[in-house]
Structure formats: structure tokens, C-alpha cells
Structure 1
Amino acid sequence: MAKHLIARLLRPVRAGIDSTAWYHPAVQQAPETIALTSSAFTDGEAIPVRYAGVGVGDNISPPLNWSGVPTNAAELVLVIEDPDVPLPRPIVHGVVTGINPRSTALPEGAINIGPTQVAHEDSSIAMTIGTGAFRRRGYAGPRPIPGHGPHRYVFQLFALDRVTGLGEGATLGRVMSAIDGHVLARGKAIGIYERA
């Protein structure tokens, strides 16, 4: 009960959407011409529990689809953040670089690592998995504080005019430095998750 009281008191405390990669100066000039969607949830609606984090759901990364990537793109980068945490910065739930710019989707489970990794039929999918919050690699599904209210999970896709060359485990800070001035286009989708 005390945890829920603390969570309710912290409801107004949020990192803020303007602290996400989407609003970083490195990407601000890029047009929003990529349509990013998921067959698992509608933009602005609830994310199913299957995609929630360890101890809450199955911690499986949702399927993602996109269109509108410029033909001259050299690489795609995906960043997933929760801007509603009661912390100074959003929590990074996933960082993926090296996505083939000719691809149009990532299947369910594509960015999982370890026991929650899901095998998928398309063996041609190549990408480099980065490091999110708390030094976690791969996808970390929604797991907001119970009673803190709804949290937004911002899936952000950036098309670049050059290859970043970032290796496994790259952090969001390194990614943002690498893409600065090289973003051709971007798109985002937001899912909502809340724990009572």
C-alpha cells in the first residue's frame, strides 16, 4: 500500500517527452516522413501484456513495420524510450543500429536477447543490438511503477545518410553522437502501458 501511495505522489514527476531522442538537436531538422506502425498495438493505444517487461509480461519485442524510408538511406536506427518515468531522463528500453534501410519490418521478438529471444524465419535480418538503461542489452518491455499512471513507450526510427559503424552494446549517447547531422527522415509510434 505504501508503494502505491508513493507512486501516486510521484505521478506528476516525469522525465518528459521533450527529453527523448525525438527532440534531440541531432534529429530535429529531419522530416517526419517515415510511417512506423505495429500490428500489436495502435499508435496512442495500449501495448498488450505479452510485450511488457520481465515479471509483468513475456518481455517480447513487438513487431514493427515502416514505410517512407528515403531511397538514399544507408542505415536505420531504432530507439525505444519511456519519458514518463519519475527520473531526470527517459528510460531507454531498446537501442538498435545497423538495420538494413531496404527492410520494411522487424518481426516479433527480433530485438530480444537471451531466454526471451524469439526465432524468426527471416535469417537475412541483420542489426546491431545496443545497450539501454541499467546496462541491459536488447529489448526491455514496459514495467512502470504500479500506480504511477499510464506511461508512453516511444518507438523512434531514424533513417541515416551514412553507416554509423557502431558495434554491439552502443549506448543512446553514442548513437546520438553518431547520427548527429546524418538523419534523412524519422518516424515514431507510441504505445501506452499502465500498472494498477
Structure 2
Amino acid sequence: MKRVIPLILMTVVLLSGCLGEKSESKFSISSVFQENEPIPKKYTCDGININPPLYISNIPENAKSLVIIVDDPDAPRGTFTHWIAWDIPPVKEIPEGIPKKGEVESPVKMIQGINDFGRIGYDGPCPPPGHGVHHYHFKVYALDITLNLAPGSTRKELEEAMKGHVIAEAELVGTYER
């Protein structure tokens, strides 16, 4: 019995030390679908083809801007880009239905580039019928600068401008099949 009490006390002390520590929350992105779950039809070419809302958590304090890149690595000809946007202020929500134009002032300020459909703005999942499940990667990057790239820039130009300025990144993968 005498040996059990010190062991219990030691366990309580160790646990209280662990519980008292602050855990750092991780930069993350979420939406109306969960990780590796289907993207609602509304946000695809079979629906009204608007971007889903994106919820961004634990943005680093030193972030000057955010970047969004949405792509499909399962596309028949290689990774297909569905949306690129940058110079987004460090906001916690990107609402659904961002206008499909180069410079957007409302509801959230951002600059958008050319996707692989050859259009500016978001174009949702639209895999070839019968091609199986595709995985759509919604990536958000926190940068230590604003990029000031011209509207309609390409993904390659965006990624080049981001080099050396990413301070955090997060990803959410949704699926879609036709």
C-alpha cells in the first residue's frame, strides 16, 4: 500500500503537468464536406458550379495574406487546377459563390487567376463520367507578404511568386464522381 500511494501521486503530478500545457492549434481549413467525403453537387459542374464556403482556423498572427489553390490530381492528363486566388486578407471565412472575375472586392477581397478550364475564378469538380472517384484538394496558404500579381495570372506564376513566403499551409480533400 505504501508503494502505491507515491505511484499514484507521481501519476497525478505528471498528468497535471501535461494538462496544464497550452496546445498550439494547427492552421486548418474546413468546409461543408468532411475530409475525403463527397463534395455536394451544388459546388460541381452538375450543380450551380459555385465555390463552397471555406472556413480557415488558427491563422498565424504574422500572416499578411492567404492563397487558395484547388486542384484534382486524378484528372486523366495530370493535375487539373480548378481555382487559384491570392491577396486574400487573413479572414476566417471565404463565403460560397465568389464572383468569377479577376478582382473581387466583396464579399471578400481577392485576386483570381486562370484555371485549367481557361476561365477566371472557381470551376468545380467535373470528372469524366465513369472515370471513378476524383479527389479535390482545397489548399490554403498563409503568406508573409501580399503578392500583387495581375488578375488572370497562371498557377505557375502564382507558385513562383509564393516561393519563400509560405508560413503555414492547410489542406482539405473532398471527393466527387460522375
Give the TM-score normalised by the residue count of structure 1: 0.73
**Superposition pairs for residues 91-110 of structure 1, below 5 Å?**
91-101=80-90, 103-110=91-98
Quote the Cα distance in structure 2 between the aligned partners of 1:167 and 1:183: 19
Gaps spanning 5+ residues in structure 2: where?
A: 1-24
The alpha carbon displacement at 1:136 in A equals 1.2
Structure 1 residues 177 and 141, CA, compared in 2 at 3 Å: closer, same or farther?
same
Quote the Cα distance in structure 1 between the aligned partners of 2:55 and 2:146: 21
Q: Is the 8 A contact 2:113 2:151 kept in 1?
A: yes
Gaps spanning 5+ residues in structure 1: where?
A: 1-31, 115-121
Tell me, what secondary structure is at the counterpart of 1:65? strand
Q: Which has the higher strand share?
A: 2
The AA in structure 2 aligned to 1:148 is H
Q: Is the 8 A contact 2:55 2:93 kept in 1?
A: yes
Rg larger in structure: 2
2:66 maps to 1:66: no
Query: 44, 50, 53: which is aligned to 1:52?
Result: 44
The alpha carbon displacement at 1:124 in A equals 5.7
Quote the Cα distance in structure 1 between the aligned partners of 2:107 and 2:62: 20
Q: Is the 8 A contact 1:33 1:186 kept in 2?
A: no
Q: Supply the RMSD in Å over aligned alpha carbons.
A: 1.7
Greater relative contact order: 1 or 2 (C-alpha under 8 angstroms, separation 6 or more)?
1
The AA in structure 2 aligned to 1:95 is I
Query: 74, 79, 83: which is aligned to 2:73?
Result: 83
Quote the Cα distance in structure 2 between the aligned partners of 1:162 and 1:77: 11
Quote the Cα distance in structure 2 between the aligned partners of 1:57 and 1:99: 26
The alpha carbon displacement at 1:134 in A equals 3.2
Q: Which residue of 1 aligns with 2:157?
A: 174
The alpha carbon displacement at 1:74 in A equals 1.0
Identity of aligned residues (%): 40
Q: Which residue of 2 aligns with 1:185?
A: 168
Q: Which residue of 2 aligns with 1:7?
A: none
The AA in structure 2 aligned to 1:91 is F
- The number of residues matched between the two structures is 151
The AA in structure 2 aligned to 1:63 is P
Quote the Cα distance in structure 2 between the aligned partners of 1:190 and 1:149: 16
Query: 102, 126, 132: which is aligned to 1:143?
Result: 126
Q: Is the 8 A contact 1:129 1:169 kept in 2?
A: yes
Q: Which runs of 4+ in 1 moved over 3 A?
A: none
Q: Which residue of 2 aligns with 1:113?
A: 100
Quote the Cα distance in structure 1 between the aligned partners of 2:84 and 2:106: 20
Tell me, what secondary structure is at the counterpart of 2:121? coil
